[in-house]
A and B are shown apart, each in its own frame.
Chain A
Amino acid sequence: MQVHKYDVVIVGAGGAGMRAAIESGQRAHTAVLTKLYPTRSHTGAAQGGMCAALANVEEDNWEWHTFDTVKGGDYLVDQDAAEVMAKEAIDAVLDLEKMGLPFNRTPEGKIDQRRFGGHTRDHGKAAVRRACYAADRTGHMILQTLYQNCVKHNVEFYNEYYVLDLLTVEEEATREDGSTYMQKRTAGVVSYDLANGEIHVFQAKSVVFATGGLGKIFKTTSNAHTLTADGMALAYRAGIPLEDMEFVQFHPTGLAGLGILLSEAARGEGAILRNSEGERFMERYAPTIKDLAPRDIVARSMANEVREGRGAGPNKDYVLLDLTHLEPAHIDAKLPDITEFARTYLGVEPYTEPVPVFPTCHYAMGGVPTNVKSEVLQDNDTVVPGLFAAGEVACVSVHGSNRLGTNSLLDINVFGKRAGLAAAEYAATAEFVDIPENPTEFTENQLNAMRASTGGERTATLRSELQETMDANMQVFRSEETIKEALAVIADLRKRYKNVQIQDKGKRFNLDLLEAVELGFLLDMAEVMTVAALHRKESRGGHYREDFPERDDENFMLHSMMYLDPESSTDGTNGIRADTKPVVFTRYEPMERKY
């Protein structure tokens, strides 16, 4: 066991992690631990843009952006957080430009902007040009630019270090009213070096989780193979609740059968969706902004077209994204990468043929609860000193029950920066917390058991059974029946997981072992997500219950908070305690969500 000591340890080197590192690295002794090389992170797959009310091409202001974010999230957004994000969006874009990001430009040389789903002028009057972009590889440019600036500032990276445990201590504390509670405090993390299998303990005053999402819970997903809910699962196992886990975004336009993302920018640039009859069906579902309605609405509309027999293709199981009315030169200038995806992976020529598409699991709105300073909460309002989270792993909550397109690239920049600043600031005055006794015991026991297991179950088999059931039962349409079906499968898989047997017995680059560990994260988070979905008996944003098709503000205008608790049980699932947290309102009263 090797022990390292840093003021700040950042876990994850995607957009949020590296944005945090740029701030923290200039102020405190900082290390970034990442299970991939930094430029491999999935921020690089984001395509369309990053919204900010720069008003470079038409009238706009951050208050409209705040409203769109709140409405897009079906009013489950904490409005104070949305306001912070929309306001700081402007500087977040300008910061990136000054770091060198090559945005597309207007004829006057300013950052160009384009339309994106759910972003409107004056509270829903019409679509607005708010998304700053670099062709259809905005995420790639953000990831590269942030890495370049980490190089510039000599940020210290530990590449291919998997974090497998969060170390915290607990001490008794007293509230103002005299009652006592157990206060958690951050001590560090336990990490596994992929190159040689050695375990390292990183003692840190501040730990920032920026580990990304959980897309691999589902079969059809735009997410990378490596997005396995690591940070959420580690926080949950350490006794930190998870907020709004039932809300998963299914991006409307995944390449049919593959799930590879085709950016909403295609529709922002004028592409439209058609069913097998050639009908532009979004005119029926969202008469005002049609194909540029928020993603949950478009995804459900598509699935409904397929369900009602108007799907295209031999199995009638997808709809079509039509770009054929756009100029090829315009497509080449604005959408070069995604049209290449259609050509490479489906052999479809988007100039002349519509592209088969179907919703694909894209983004977790929920995650580790934080306040607007990116501090992690151990309940509805108690901060865990020294623990921060930003990006998809976190739930601030700026996305509520449905994230607007481009707001994820914005989230990682605004809250990544805040997390880096807050982590460095905390470390400047805090003392190191003593590492608990036998800090690596849990991790070593887990890995040794897996290496020694002769149980005969295969990681890949269990994972694909999980993904199949989640696609079938927990996608854009859910009901008590389908959710319970998924829960039963998950319960069975969790039993079988104890018998997972790996084949690679070596120490070097043992990805066989790590995939088995990641499956454990996926199973834990699938269970939490599914229990939360069963518990929420209403339809809101990305969570649609066919047995409760209406939004129910009276009973469910609340964040869900799921705790690991061996003493409790929720709706028949043992070990999970369900609680709620009020939504923060500032200026917008909930209205019916129409587009």
Chain B
Amino acid sequence: MSTPTKEAAEPASKIDMKESGGGGEVPSFEITLQVRRYDPEFSDEARWDEWQLTMYGTDRVLDALHKVKWNIDGSLTFRRSCAHGVCGSDAMRINGRNRLACKVLLKDLDTSKPIMVEPIKGLPVEKDLIVDMEPFFQSYREIMPFMVNNSPAPTAERLQSPEDRERFDDTTKCILCAACTSSCPVFWTDGQYFGPAAIVNAHRFIFDSRDDAGDMRLEVLNDKEGVWRCRTTFNCTDACPRGIEVTKAIQEVKRAVLTRSM
């Protein structure tokens, strides 16, 4: 058995191939898709629609929604763009959990039961799976989501050690999909609460060694609708499609409020 070297050595020109996994024949299977529909232009009542669909091994929930929209009912409405979990358009409740529709493989769900898809909670529903994102972005804007540095800019870059850079790495991954905020029970009952995503984005700057406005953000988040509303239920961490430890970030912000002089 070969030992891996630290510096990536020049790899072998030729190796023996085993059969590789993935990308092979993908069997088809049947699913029942149920989607919460609502269009106030035509009815004040929301309803559930249901379709039986034949899907394939690598298909995701987004593919099932597309199959309905493209082949059966063009009025089914949802947001999506990149379709691989980086743009944050298609957060929705899938079997009661906040997920990105483009990241949930159908074969990983229990296909013996209907797959239930609803809009994320706590934001006004506009049509089918589309919600009004404005309250979410309003909270985001309030925490000053941009770097403030009051010292004169050097000609080259501002220096930052790899350790200081690592300090806030986790919270730079946020794609503003609102899966965390709209999974939070406090946010559901009190729409004024900043919510996890805004706090995550505040964290990204508070712990950036180059930033000078941390105290101002902490003051904003020390407000009655700020970090203290968090009840540490961990829904947000479970919901985050980017694997950000959201609750931990909120705890770190709480500690910073207490330790830094206000």
**Docked-complex contact B105 and A45, CB < 8 angstroms:** no
**Docked-complex contact A314 and B25, CB < 8 angstroms:** yes
The distance from the CB of B91 to the nearest CB of chain A, in whole angstroms, is: 11
**Measured CA separation A460–B40 after assembly (Å):** 26
Shortest Cβ distance from A101 into B: residue: B147
Within 8 A of A (CB), among B1-34: 4, 6, 8-9, 11-17, 20-25
In the complex, B257 has a CB within 8 A of chain A: no
Taking a contact as CB atoms closer than 8 A, the residue among B127, B159, B208 that contacts A108 in the complex is: B159
Q: Which of B113-121, B167-175, B245-253 contacts A (4 or more CB under 8 A)?
A: B167-175
Q: Chain B residues near A314 (CB, 8 Å)?
A: 24-25
Taking a contact as CB atoms closer than 8 A, the residue among B17, B39, B145 that contacts A508 in the complex is: B39
**Docked-complex contact A98 and B41, CB < 8 angstroms:** no
**Docked-complex contact B165 and A270, CB < 8 angstroms:** no
Shortest Cβ distance from A197 into B: residue: B41
Q: Chain A residues near B21 (CB, 8 Å)?
A: 347-349, 353
**Docked-complex contact A320 and B20, CB < 8 angstroms:** yes
Q: Which of B72-80, B187-195, B223-231 contacts A (4 or more CB under 8 A)?
A: B72-80
Q: Chain A residues near B109 (CB, 8 Å)?
A: none
Taking a contact as CB atoms closer than 8 A, the residue among A109, A134, A270, A276 that contacts B11 in the complex is: A270
Taking a contact as CB atoms closer than 8 A, the residue among A45, A107, A278 that contacts B14 in the complex is: A278
B64-86 Cβ-contact flags toward A at 8 Å (1 or 0): 00000111011101011111111
**Measured CA separation A391–B3 after assembly (Å):** 45
**Measured CA separation A325–B9 after assembly (Å):** 8
**Docked-complex contact B23 and A313, CB < 8 angstroms:** yes
**Docked-complex contact B11 and A272, CB < 8 angstroms:** yes
**Docked-complex contact B84 and A509, CB < 8 angstroms:** no
In the complex, B58 has a CB within 8 A of chain A: yes
The distance from the CB of B80 to the nearest CB of chain A, in whole angstroms, is: 6
Q: Chain A residues near B40 (CB, 8 Å)?
A: 508
Q: Which of B23, B75, B103 counts the most chain A CB atoms within 10 A?
A: B23
Within 8 A of B (CB), among A25-54: 36-37, 39-42, 44-45
Taking a contact as CB atoms closer than 8 A, the residue among A151, A272, A277, A347 that contacts B22 in the complex is: A347
Taking a contact as CB atoms closer than 8 A, the residue among B16, B75, B83, B137 that contacts A504 in the complex is: B75
**Docked-complex contact A151 and B145, CB < 8 angstroms:** yes
The distance from the CB of A133 to the nearest CB of chain B, in whole angstroms, is: 12
Q: Which of A255-263, A393-401, A423-431 contacts B (4 or more CB under 8 A)?
A: A255-263
**Docked-complex contact A36 and B89, CB < 8 angstroms:** yes
In the complex, B211 has a CB within 8 A of chain A: yes
Q: Chain B residues near A144 (CB, 8 Å)?
A: 172, 174
Q: Chain A residues near B22 (CB, 8 Å)?
A: 256, 342, 346-348, 353, 355-356
In the complex, A102 has a CB within 8 A of chain B: yes
**Docked-complex contact A148 and B20, CB < 8 angstroms:** no
A458 and B88 in contact (CB under 8 A), knowing A109-B161, A348-B21? no
**Docked-complex contact B103 and A344, CB < 8 angstroms:** yes
**Docked-complex contact A100 and B147, CB < 8 angstroms:** yes
Within 8 A of B (CB), among A273-326: 274, 276-280, 283, 312-314, 318, 320, 322, 325-326
The distance from the CB of A509 to the nearest CB of chain B, in whole angstroms, is: 5
**Docked-complex contact B58 and A280, CB < 8 angstroms:** no
A224 and B12 in contact (CB under 8 A), knowing A506-B41, A512-B74? no
Q: Chain B residues near A97 (CB, 8 Å)?
A: 157-158
The distance from the CB of B160 to the nearest CB of chain A, in whole angstroms, is: 5
In the complex, B176 has a CB within 8 A of chain A: yes
A137 and B173 in contact (CB under 8 A), knowing A45-B84, A346-B23? yes
In the complex, B130 has a CB within 8 A of chain A: yes
The distance from the CB of B248 to the nearest CB of chain A, in whole angstroms, is: 18
The distance from the CB of A354 to the nearest CB of chain B, in whole angstroms, is: 6
**Measured CA separation A111–B128 after assembly (Å):** 45
Q: Chain A residues near B159 (CB, 8 Å)?
A: 105, 108-110
The distance from the CB of B258 to the nearest CB of chain A, in whole angstroms, is: 26
Shortest Cβ distance from A222 into B: residue: B84
Shortest Cβ distance from A37 into B: residue: B133
**Measured CA separation A266–B10 after assembly (Å):** 15
Q: Chain B residues near A39 (CB, 8 Å)?
A: 87-88, 175-176
In the complex, B153 has a CB within 8 A of chain A: yes
The distance from the CB of A156 to the nearest CB of chain B, in whole angstroms, is: 13
B213-256 Cβ-contact flags toward A at 8 Å (1 or 0): 00000000000000000000000000000000000000000000
**Docked-complex contact A344 and B85, CB < 8 angstroms:** yes
**Docked-complex contact B74 and A354, CB < 8 angstroms:** no
Within 8 A of B (CB), among A474-528: 502-504, 506-512
Q: Chain B residues near A94 (CB, 8 Å)?
A: 156-157
**Docked-complex contact A224 and B82, CB < 8 angstroms:** yes
Interface size, B (range):
35 or more
Q: Which of B81, B158, B211 counts the most chain A CB atoms within 10 A?
A: B81
A102 and B84 in contact (CB under 8 A), knowing A108-B159, A151-B145? no
The distance from the CB of A341 to the nearest CB of chain B, in whole angstroms, is: 6
**Docked-complex contact A270 and B8, CB < 8 angstroms:** yes
A258 and B58 in contact (CB under 8 A), knowing A44-B87, A102-B172, A151-B145? yes
In the complex, A195 has a CB within 8 A of chain B: yes
Q: Chain A residues near B36 (CB, 8 Å)?
A: none
In the complex, A82 has a CB within 8 A of chain B: no
**Measured CA separation A322–B130 after assembly (Å):** 40
Shortest Cβ distance from B145 into A: residue: A148
**Docked-complex contact B69 and A512, CB < 8 angstroms:** yes
Q: Which of B69, B83, B84 counts the most chain A CB atoms within 10 A?
A: B84
Q: Chain A residues near B25 (CB, 8 Å)?
A: 314
The distance from the CB of B100 to the nearest CB of chain A, in whole angstroms, is: 10
Taking a contact as CB atoms closer than 8 A, the residue among A42, A105, A276, A347 that contacts B81 in the complex is: A42
**Docked-complex contact B14 and A277, CB < 8 angstroms:** yes
Taking a contact as CB atoms closer than 8 A, the residue among A40, A98, A325, A509 that contacts B158 in the complex is: A98
Q: Chain A residues near B75 (CB, 8 Å)?
A: 503-504, 506, 512
Q: Chain A residues near B17 (CB, 8 Å)?
A: 274, 276-278, 312
The distance from the CB of B259 to the nearest CB of chain A, in whole angstroms, is: 23
Shortest Cβ distance from A256 into B: residue: B23
In the complex, B51 has a CB within 8 A of chain A: no
Q: Which of A144, A261, A506, A511 counts the most chain B CB atoms within 10 A?
A: A511
**Docked-complex contact A45 and B86, CB < 8 angstroms:** yes
Q: Chain B residues near A109 (CB, 8 Å)?
A: 159-162
In the complex, B47 has a CB within 8 A of chain A: no
**Measured CA separation A260–B58 after assembly (Å):** 12
The distance from the CB of B133 to the nearest CB of chain A, in whole angstroms, is: 7
**Measured CA separation A41–B175 after assembly (Å):** 11
**Docked-complex contact A325 and B172, CB < 8 angstroms:** no
**Docked-complex contact B126 and A509, CB < 8 angstroms:** yes
Shortest Cβ distance from B70 into A: residue: A460
- Beyond the given A104-B162, A151-B141, A224-B83, could you list 9 further A-B residue pairs with CB under 8 A, ordered by the A residue number? A100-B146, A100-B147, A140-B173, A225-B82, A279-B13, A325-B9, A327-B6, A503-B74, A512-B69
Q: Which residues of B contact A (CB under 8 A)?
A: 4, 6, 8-9, 11-17, 20-25, 39-42, 58, 69-71, 73-75, 77, 79-89, 103, 105, 126-128, 130, 133, 137, 141, 145-147, 149, 153, 156-162, 165, 168-169, 172-176, 205, 208, 210-211
11 contacts between A and B (CB under 8 A): A39-B87, A44-B87, A103-B157, A152-B146, A278-B15, A327-B8, A337-B86, A502-B74, A503-B74, A508-B39, A509-B130
Q: Which residues of A contact B (CB under 8 A)?
A: 36-37, 39-42, 44-45, 93-94, 97-100, 102-111, 134-135, 137, 140-141, 144, 148-149, 151-152, 195, 224-226, 256-258, 260-261, 269-270, 272, 274, 276-280, 283, 312-314, 318, 320, 322, 325-327, 330, 337, 341-342, 344-349, 353-356, 458-460, 502-504, 506-512
